Every structure is written in structure tokens, then in C-alpha cells.
Chain A
């Protein structure tokens, strides 16, 4: 069975006890993203702060409905980006996207992706890649909007 390689314990742990979940105030931008195939939804808020002229992710809060992969991925994503400069968080997001597009052949960099390496197996299942990316795409969109508003 390959199920265990897809649903690693890290994923199931985040699914059962998601980090940073629940919408919080105040926030700089809020987005609502939907996976039209399955109806999974996420509402996500981003708060940025200025640290010596550089934008930093102060908080990410979200409310979501969806499968274990999409729920766990949003949880892992929030762990990874909160407290990081936006540039660095965007780079991590790009690395994760490339891992998802690797068709199971990617070698995840644990130093960069931390718990997100557990999603490597998802890239073998084309139907599930969107689940893993839902939270990340919402975060990117909300962050871009927050940056735009701050200009």
C-alpha cells in the first residue's frame, strides 16, 4: 500500500490539530479561494509588519473546509511563513510549488520546507496537488494584495 507514503503522520497530525486556524483581527488583506473541482474552500487573512523597511509576515489566520491534504497544508504553510520576511516566504512558496509539480521525482529540501517535505508524495497524485496548494495560493494572493495596499 502506498497510502502511508501519501498520508504521512505529519500530515495526519496537522489535519487533526491544525496550527493558526481561525480568523483573527486586525488584518491587512483577506481572500477567499475555492477549489471548483471538489468545493474545498479557504478564507485567509494576512497581516504584515514593517521591520527596518522590509515587509515581514506578522500573522496568517484562516478558516477552511476541505480534505486532510488541504487542511494540513494550510497548517504547515502558516507555520512556515509567519515571522518570515515576505521575500523569503515567497521563495519557500515557490520551492513548495516546484515540489508539487515534480511528479514524485522531487527531492524536498528539509531545511527550507520543514514539515512541508511530508507532502512530497502528493505530487504523484495529480488530482490532489490542488488540495495541497489551496492554502499557499490563498496566502500568496492575500500577501500580494496587502503589499499593494501598503504602497
Chain B
């Protein structure tokens, strides 16, 4: 037990796997990294997998008749298979590699531009990260379809107004977990609503997949987008899970080499998914790293990861509630919410809070976190956000609480 909060992971051992956590930052302070919601840190196993790929197997996958090319293909497809099993997908063919979660969502939005018409409806929510908001606004502009959204309640929860789902709804796209308040919407219920009118259901899983056990069949999602770098993997690799029939029905997004079947000057036919959506030489080094990240998380057990973060979140919520100058944005309990905690401090702007915390070695995110409408609805211009992952400790939560009090004193508010 740590401060009365249950232990689910051997965090001390985990921290030894992450070289960056041993460095010091400003004023020779040890690094307290509470910004994994933006990007996570990497264990040695992930760094080694990337290095090993470049040192021993580097080649263009899916091409060439040489051994290295075959090995690169095996690594790349091996990660696809690992991800399929990690997500409970029916087949590795349901896993498409993209540059990012953002690109994965755009892939679906651009694909639907071929079939949406004026009068059709796209349904999102006010909780969205801009990555699951702006592509749908653009799709509405491009097609004449109407963009509608579930509103956000004052407690940060999504207002389940079922009347928003109509016979005209073609796609419902919502976040799996808010990147600001940590709110997890009732995803299964939303998916069932979407399917009841024949609409597609997309989940922005950027903050969900790295932190919770996810099974796509249970979730009922036609599409699930997420990024590797928020789940211990390298930058530059995103994933789109798609139910095979849903992927097959989408036209290609980015086109070019390696996604084609036959090319003539007049016309091109395409490979089936996932190849249809993966033009160009594949990013195998990143896939090697992400494969190692999936192995690492699987060995920890996603239930344990979620439970560990829940304990840290409970601790953080308790500590922040004790401070009268702090207002937590969103739910103040851990029920249906993940390990990101956003807050505002009376009389101290988030940017200034972040600066003071940085002087103490504590890395947090400040601003609107690419979720401007969400902040507007909660009546704040910006916020400070702490987000937790497998390597964070209860001592670091205490350091955050102390740092906040220091910032309040510095700006004459405490």
C-alpha cells in the first residue's frame, strides 16, 4: 500500500526500465513526468526493438526478394497481429497503420466524403479533442452534411440526448476518454444507438487504449483510432482498427505505391484492407517499437495498468479537493473516468502554474489541450493537466499537490 492507496504494479521495478526517468531537469530536480496524456515515455525494450531493427533487419517491407525484406515484413506484420490480439480484433487485417490517431480519424472522414450527402448527419460531442472534431466539421463542409453534437454537462459528463441520433445519422464519433477531464462516455450505449439507425460508430481511443483493457467486440466500435506514442511506443505511428466490412466499404485515403492491385493509365484497382490504406514504404522501425510496447503492457496486464492509474487518480483527486483554491474540471470521483486530472487555480493562470511546476521538475500540460470547446463549456479559458501512467508514483502525486501550493504562495494566492 502507498499512502493507503492499493498497489497493482511494481512501480519501482518499472521505473528502472525507463532511462529518461533517471535524468534531472531544471535546478537539478528529478523529473516528475505527469504529461503522459500528451506523449508517454519509453522502456528500454521499445528502444532496443527499434535499434535492433535498424542494426539487423532494415529493409523495405513488402518488397524485394531478399532476406532482410522478408524479416522486415515479418516484424511489421508481427506487430499488426499483436495489436489485433491486444484489441480482440477478429483478424490482423482489421488493423491499419497510419501516421497518427489524427490521420486514422481523417482516413475515415475523407473516405465518407464520397458517400455523404446534404441532409445526412454526423454526430460528435463537445468533449472531443480537436482531432476528433475538426475532421468532422470539414467533412460536413465538404459534403453539405450536418454536424451535430452531444453537449457536455457542467460535471464534464456527456449529455446522452438520444434524440440526436436519427435516421439521417451516418456516423457517430466520440472520444473513448476525454484528454482533459478523463471522462469515459457510455461507449457501448452510444454504439448501440448508432447501430440502431444503421450509422457507423467511431471511437477516438487515443486516451483509452493506452490505459484500459479494450476489446473491440465488447465496445461495439466499427472504428477505433489511437496512437502508438501514448502507449510506450515510438512517435509517428498510429493505428486504425476497423471492422473488416467497414474498412472494405471505405475508399482509399492516401494513394500511391504498395496499396494497388493493378495500375493502368486510365484506372487503378486497390488491394483489400489493410494494404488499401497503407501506401509507401512501411514504418517498420516504429512498428518494431510498438510491438515491444504491446508486449510490455501485456506483461503488466492492462487490468493492473488501469487499476494503478485509478489509485493515482483517486489520490490526486483527494489531494486537490483538500486545496480550497483548486477547482477540478470534470468528475471528482474515479467512476467512469481515467487518469488525467485537469484543474484551475484561483488567481493563477495555468501557464504560470506550469512554469512554477517546471522549476520544481514537474512536467504537466497547460492550455486548452486541443479541446477548446470543452473548456468553453466548463467556463474556463485554459487549465493545467496532470496525466498518469504505469511509471508514476504516489510520491509524485504528493509532489504535484505541494507544487500547486508553492505556485499559489508565489503568486500571493495561498
Contact = CB atoms under 8 A, between A and B. Distances in A.
Given A38-B368, A39-B382, A67 B359 contact: no
Contacts of A6: 355
Interface in B1-57: 26-27
Q: Which of A7, A39, A69, A125 has the most C-beta atoms of chain B within 10 angstroms of its own C-beta?
A: A39
Contact of A1 (B27, B352, B375): B27
A128 to B, nearest CB: 7
B352 A67 contact: yes
A12 B412 CA distance: 10
B410 interface: yes
A67 to B, nearest CB: 4
B27 A38 contact: no
B359 A2 contact: yes
Interface string A45-62: 000000000000000000
A150 interface: no
A125 B352 CA distance: 12
B356 interface: yes
A65 B381 contact: yes
A2 B382 contact: no
Nearest to A71: B349
Contact of B350 (A2, A67, A70, A128): A67
B399 to A, nearest CB: 16
B351 A67 contact: yes
B114 interface: no
Q: How large is the interface on B (under 10, 10 to 19, 20 to 34, 35 or more residues)?
A: 10 to 19
Contacts of B352: 7, 67-69
B368 A39 contact: yes
Contacts of B368: 38-39
Given A2-B359, A3-B410, A125-B355, A39 B349 contact: no
Contacts of B349: 66-68
A21 B349 CA distance: 18
Interface in B356-374: 356, 359, 366-368, 372
Contacts of B351: 38, 40, 66-70, 128, 131
Interface in A87-126: 125
Contact of A39 (B355, B375, B410): B375
Interface in B386-414: 410-411
A149 interface: no
Contacts of A7: 352, 410
Contacts of A65: 381
A131 B352 CA distance: 11
A39 B381 contact: yes
B266 to A, nearest CB: 44
Contacts of A38: 350-351, 366-368, 382
A38 B369 CA distance: 8
Contacts of A39: 367-368, 372, 375, 381-382
Nearest to A16: B412
Interface in A1-37: 1-3, 6-7, 12, 37
Nearest to B406: A3
Contacts of A12: 411
Nearest to B376: A39
A21 to B, nearest CB: 15
B359 A1 contact: yes
Contacts of A41: 381
A3 B27 CA distance: 11
10 contacts: A1-B27, A39-B368, A39-B372, A39-B382, A40-B381, A40-B382, A65-B381, A66-B349, A67-B349, A125-B355
Given A2-B27, A3-B359, A38-B350, 17 more contacts: A1-B359, A2-B26, A3-B355, A3-B356, A6-B355, A7-B352, A7-B410, A12-B411, A38-B367, A38-B382, A39-B367, A39-B382, A40-B351, A41-B381, A67-B349, A67-B351, A68-B351
Interface of B: 26-27, 349-352, 355-356, 359, 366-368, 372, 375, 381-382, 410-411
- Name the 5 nearest CB pairs between A and B, nearest first: A67-B351, A38-B367, A67-B349, A39-B368, A39-B382
